[in-house]
Amino acid sequence: MGKNIGFVSTRFAGADGVTLESSKWAQVIKKSGHSCFWFAGELDRNSQNSFPVPEAFFKHKDNQWINDQIFGKNRRSRAVTEAIHSSRSFLKTELYEFIKKFKIDMLIAENALTIPLHVPLGLALTEVIAETQIPTIAHHHDFYWERVRFTVNAVNDYIRMAFPPTLSNIEHVVINSAAREELALRTGISSTIIPNVVDFENPPFVDEKHTEDFRNKIGLKPDDVMILQPSRVVQRKGIEHAIELVHELKDPRYKLVISHEAGDEGFEYAEWLVENAKDRGVDLRLFDTGIADPANDGLKSPNQYSLWDIYPHADFITYPSLYEGFGNAFLEAIYFKKPMLVNRYATFVRDIEPKGFDLIVMDGFLTKRTVQKVREIIESPEKKAEMVNHNYEIATRYYSYSVLRKWLNSLIINFFGIDV
C-alpha cells in the first residue's frame, strides 16, 4: 500500500543540487506507488501537495539575523538563544500541521539536518522526529565541517543535537564515501551511500524550438561555439578556470555561458569573474533568469528555461569545481552526451574516477596540453562521439534511477517491512 512521504527542507525551488536530487527521489518514489508532499520556506512544487512556510527559508530576514549573530563568533547572547527557540517553536507547530494535513507516514529531510543554515528548522525537525518516532530518511548533501564558514560558531550545542541527530528512527543517507567516514568518525552514526543519479534508462527529450529560443535569447550566432559552465556562481565552482580555458583556446567563436544565477553566497565573486573575463577578452554570458528544475512536475512558467533546454546547445562543458559533495552537473553532461573538462576534486578522485570514465581532467591548474586536448575534442566529431557514448554506458551502470530505486526500496522496507 502506498505511503504518504513528506519532503522537508529550507528550499525546494530553482536548480540547486538539493532541489534537483529531491525531485529525482520524488519521481522514483511516485513510480513505486507512493505520494510526495513538500514542506519548505521557498517552494515551486505543485501547490496541492505543498506546505509553504516562509519562515523556514534560510534567507528569511529573521533567520538571516540569527545567522549573523552565530557564525564567525564564539558566544551568543541570551536574546539570540530566545530568537532561535521562538523560531523553533513556531516551525515545530507548522511541521506537526504538515504531518497532520497530509497524513504523512514518513519524512525525508533534505539537508535540513545536515548543514546549519537554518538552525531553528533543524531543531524543530529533530524534536518532531523524536516525539512522533515517525520513520525518517535524513538525506545529507553537505555537512557543516565541509564548509569553512561554519568552523567558528556560537551554536555548537545545537549543531551536536540536530546536525545530524542520533535517533533510532532515522536512516542516514550520504552522497559520497568521505562523508560516510567522517559522519561515523565524528558522531558514531552509520549511513548508506546513495550517489546522485540521472534517468539514464530514458535518454533526454529535447524540445528543439524551446532550446533554439534559448540560444537566440543569449545572443549566440549559428557558428558560435558554446562552452557551458552549468553551475551556480559560487567560489567553490572554480569558474575562473573556465574563463582561463576559453582565453587559452584563442578563438573569438568560443563563448562561455554560465547557466545559473549568482546571489546564494553574495555577488562579489560574480563581479570579479565579469572583470576577469573582460581583462582576458573572454565573451562571458551570465544567464540571469531563474532556471527551472527539469524533474519538477510542479507548475512551470512556459517562458522559463530548464537545464534540459540549455545542455543540448553546449559544445563543451567546463566543470572546474574545487569541491563538490558529488557533482550533479557531471552526470548531466554525460546524460546529454557532452565532452567535459573536470578538475579532480576529492569526491571525483575517490568515488567517480575509478569507474573508468573517458574525460579531460585538470589537477588544480590548466596546462597547454589540457587546452590542446579540449580543442581536439571540440573539433573532432569522431573522438567526441566515442568519448560521450563510452561515458553514457558507464553512467547507466552506476548512476541510473534503477540504482536509486534499489536503495530507496531497501530503506523503506527497513521501516515498514513491505516491498515497495
Domain identity same for 119 and 173: yes
Asked, for residue 49, whether it belongs to a domain, the answer is yes
Do residues 133 and 269 share a domain? Answer: no
pLDDT at 298 over 60: no
Residue 78 to residues 65, 69, 88, 92, 124: CA-CA distances in angstroms? Answer: 14, 11, 15, 21, 19
Residues 304 and 328 in one domain: yes
Is pLDDT at 269 greater than 50 in this prediction? Answer: yes
**Residue 360 banded pLDDT, cuts 50, 70, 90:** very high
pLDDT higher than threshold 80 for residue 264: no
Residue 203 lies in a domain: no
Q: Are residues 187 and 247 in the same domain?
A: no
**Stretch 250-254: mean pLDDT, rounded?**
94
Lookup result for grid cell 524540445: 207
Residues 91 and 214 placed together within one structural domain of the fold = no
Examine the domain organization and report whether 169 and 239 are in the same domain: no
**202 lies in some domain:** no
382-402: average pLDDT: 97
One domain, residues 126 and 168:
yes
Least confident of 3-12, 386-395, 409-418: 409-418
Looking at the structure, tell me whether residues 412 and 387 fall in a common domain: no
324: in domain? yes
Domain check: are 139 and 259 in the same one? no
CATH number of 240's domain: 3.40.50.2000
| 419, pLDDT greater than 60 | no
Query: If you average pLDDT over residues 372-393, what whole number do you get?
Result: 97
Same domain? For 411 and 284 the reply is no
Q: What is the mean pLDDT of residues 47-57?
A: 97
Residue 54 lies inside a defined structural domain of this protein: yes
pLDDT at residue 302 is higher than 90: no
Task: Check whether residue 367 and residue 240 sit in a common domain.
Answer: yes
Per-residue pLDDT tens over the stretch 283-293 = 998 876 566 66
For the entire predicted model, the pTM comes to 0.87
Same domain, yes or no: 143 and 219: no
Asked whether residue 228 is domain-assigned, the answer is yes
**Number of domains present in the structure of the chain:** 2
Tell me the residue range of the domain where 281 lies.
208-398
